Structure 1
Amino acid sequence: MGLGKVLVTAASVKGCEPALRLMREAGCDVHLATSPQPLDENWQLEQTRDVAALVFAMEPVSARLLENAQALKIIARPGVGYDTVDVAAATRRGVAVTIAESTNHESVADFTLGLLLMAARGMLPCANSVQQHGWDRVTGTEAWRKTLAIVGLGRIGKAVVKRAQGFDMRVLVVSRRRDEDFARSHGVEYVDLDTALREADFLSLHAPLTPETANLLDAAAIAKMKPGAYLVNTSRGGLVDEEALAAAVRSGRLAGAAVDVLRSQGANSPSPLIGVPGIIVTPHMATLSRESMERVAMSVARAVVARLRGERPAGLVNPQVA
């Protein structure tokens, strides 16, 4: 007997044949689809009506969709964020929500340091100049021995700390949960947000988007940042007041910013950060390494199979359903 229909729109999973094979060999009826752009809720409702498992990327999973998907047993997120899922509604309906934990933190940490260096040294406009047969150069800022403040010390934050040690950086951390052993062994200093804003040459965001962290870096917080500092965000666009950040970079109060996430993502995004000199915007690709994509896809496939077999899946964010 089959395990039920699995709808996959996430490119990371659609492109991983071992993950698809794992689900199919376990008895899943795997359907691959591409969500329309812009998103169409009616399309989502029709596609999810009879699914047992849902593997969306960043598409929203609303209470209405959950009410419509009567056979749904699991929403397996191919990442670590789940702010696009109505977890409360899923929990009420007994639908498991999982994340692909411990799969992409090294990739995101690499990308974070890459963005930091690109911003500090002005690499992007200079490289673009050479592509246009120019030879524009800028005098940048060293990362060596500067102060890096990390907001959120989960797996990604810790991986960034380890990389920052190679630059002899002083590392400040803002985190509700403290790992004292990690702090001692890696020379981390726990501080409050105001101290981090005041002292950091580079501020890197690695906190999840929740009602408590939404707009964490609002205009008032950005105004407290050290003059000449840089902001790096590879977490969620909703953490930052984009208008305030754009204004701070335009005015020269902040030296620059590099972000991989926006409040409104996708082609033709209206984000005020796009096109601002001194701000680098990449298309939410920090997790997109070959190695991490396969780890993510396999993690999702294992979670789907476990749940549909009546087992407890790894990465469960609403454990009360299992």
Structure 2
Amino acid sequence: MSALRIAVLDDWQAVASQVVNWAPLQALGELVFVHDYPAATAVLIERLKDFDVICVMRERTVFDKALIDGLPRLKLLATGGMRNAALDLNAARERGVLVCGSDSYKHAAPELTWALLMALQRNLVAEANSLRSGGWQVGLGGDLYGKTLGILGLGSIGQKVAGYAKAFGMRVIAWSENLTEARASEAGVTWVSKQQLFEQADILTVHLVLSPRSQGLVDAQALGWMKPTALLINTSRGPIVDEQALIDALQHQRLAGAALDVFAQEPLPADHPLRSLPNLLATPHIGYVTQNNYRQFFEHMIEDVLAWHAGTPIRLL
């Protein structure tokens, strides 16, 4: 095989070159870190048309059929994570482009979830901003002990968050369409119905995989079941929550507050109403943006490329 041209995309913080040792890929040919992110497909095609291998971060640059078909040299896409909704896997298969993924560091997302929950409950952003601007106390923080945490989706992340909640003395309830009472009990969590989850939760946190079944699951009806004093946390995927319904609930104080790390459109448009709601704490999809997780992603991408180059591809999607 001739020398490869390999591109690393989606390095928004310009940290990829320092996180891991890329020398094994540099030995295969030319390695380029691409730091420009045009939205236009035609510009992306022009920029990427000479690469054989492209490494992408999960759910940033969209590789749809038009882009994949416009890259005649592309043979391999290596992505962070084992799911990437930004990649058209069917189009890749039709073109004969292999797609490989990576494992994830399992603590990044639940730790951010808990950080957002604590910050929202104790009004930390407003208090810190007041102090920075010369002021002092501006509000009254909430408490966790004895409160009820509702978990929508009790997978690996949901179970870790449940463990944090129990350490803080919270009652933990959970529901999803696939969750059974027995599985909830095994995790030390009380199974409830969907409506009971939303009605009883003082804080509700979303931990579902985005799918046609989960999209829009947290809709106006579900938000309407929640207590006006309740808080909503979403570090899973933006489209699981009906954004307009959430905005309406927050604007009219039918919900005390929310913390979001994910959005229907990312990056979030500069004029989006979610940027200006006083009872919303929002972060720019940093749930997986940690040193350990990036190291896992990039090390596995390197392994993916080396295995493919040796004729034995791994972690195929």
Structure 2 length-normalised TM: 0.88
- Per the alignment, residue 100 of structure 2 pairs with 98
Structure-to-structure mapping, 1:239-278, within 5 angstroms: 239-266=240-267, 268-278=269-279
In the alignment, the residues of structure 2 paired with residue 181 and residue 70 of structure 1 have an alpha-carbon distance, to the nearest angstrom, of 51
In the alignment, the residues of structure 2 paired with residue 47 and residue 181 of structure 1 have an alpha-carbon distance, to the nearest angstrom, of 52
What SS is found at the alignment partner of 1:15?
helix
- Per the alignment, residue 165 of structure 1 pairs with 166
- Per the alignment, residue 9 of structure 1 pairs with 9
Per-residue CA deviations over 1:187-211 (Å, capped at 9, x if unaligned) read: 1233443232122111111222222
Q: 1:283 to 1:192 in 2, by over 3 A?
A: same
Per-residue CA deviations over 1:103-143 (Å, capped at 9, x if unaligned) read: 2x301111100000111111111110100010133112212
Contact in 2 for aligned 1:19/1:297 (Cα 8 Å): no
1:120 partner letter: Q
In the alignment, the residues of structure 1 paired with residue 213 and residue 271 of structure 2 have an alpha-carbon distance, to the nearest angstrom, of 25
Q: 1:15 to 1:223 in 2, by over 3 A?
A: farther
- Per the alignment, residue 146 of structure 1 pairs with 147
What SS is found at the alignment partner of 2:250?
helix
Contact in 2 for aligned 1:233/1:259 (Cα 8 Å): yes
In the alignment, the residues of structure 1 paired with residue 73 and residue 175 of structure 2 have an alpha-carbon distance, to the nearest angstrom, of 41
Contact in 1 for aligned 2:19/2:294 (Cα 8 Å): no
2:127 maps to 1:126: yes
- Per the alignment, residue 66 of structure 2 pairs with 64
In the alignment, the residues of structure 1 paired with residue 234 and residue 298 of structure 2 have an alpha-carbon distance, to the nearest angstrom, of 24
Contact in 2 for aligned 1:14/1:20 (Cα 8 Å): no
Per-residue CA deviations over 1:198-234 (Å, capped at 9, x if unaligned) read: 2211111122222222222222222222332111111
In the alignment, the residues of structure 2 paired with residue 19 and residue 202 of structure 1 have an alpha-carbon distance, to the nearest angstrom, of 41
2:188 maps to 1:187: yes
Per-residue CA deviations over 1:5-43 (Å, capped at 9, x if unaligned) read: 221113277334534223224x25322112335x22112
In the alignment, the residues of structure 1 paired with residue 264 and residue 33 of structure 2 have an alpha-carbon distance, to the nearest angstrom, of 27
Contact in 2 for aligned 1:52/1:308 (Cα 8 Å): no
- Per the alignment, residue 222 of structure 2 pairs with 221
Question: Cα distance, 1:50 vs. partner?
Answer: 3.3
- Per the alignment, residue 109 of structure 2 pairs with 108
- Per the alignment, residue 48 of structure 2 pairs with 48
- Per the alignment, residue 18 of structure 1 pairs with 20
In the alignment, the residues of structure 1 paired with residue 20 and residue 207 of structure 2 have an alpha-carbon distance, to the nearest angstrom, of 30
Question: Cα distance, 1:178 vs. partner?
Answer: 4.6
Contact in 1 for aligned 2:108/2:288 (Cα 8 Å): yes
- Per the alignment, residue 176 of structure 2 pairs with 175
Q: 1:206 to 1:94 in 2, by over 3 A?
A: farther
Structure 1: any 5+ residue segments left out of the alignment? Answer: 318-322
Contact in 2 for aligned 1:262/1:271 (Cα 8 Å): no
Contact in 2 for aligned 1:83/1:210 (Cα 8 Å): no
What SS is found at the alignment partner of 2:157?
helix
- Per the alignment, residue 234 of structure 2 pairs with 233
Contact in 2 for aligned 1:242/1:271 (Cα 8 Å): no
- Per the alignment, residue 91 of structure 2 pairs with 89
Question: Cα distance, 1:181 vs. partner?
Answer: 8.0
241-250 or 10-19: bigger deviation: 10-19
Contact in 2 for aligned 1:49/1:68 (Cα 8 Å): yes
117-126 or 259-268: bigger deviation: 259-268
Of structures 1 and 2, the one with the larger relative CO (CA 8 A, separation 6+) is 1
Q: CA RMSD in A?
A: 2.5
Structure 1 length-normalised TM: 0.87
2:311 maps to 1:313: no
Per-residue CA deviations over 1:134-187 (Å, capped at 9, x if unaligned) read: 013311221223222222333322322222221122222333445888644431
Contact in 2 for aligned 1:146/1:170 (Cα 8 Å): yes
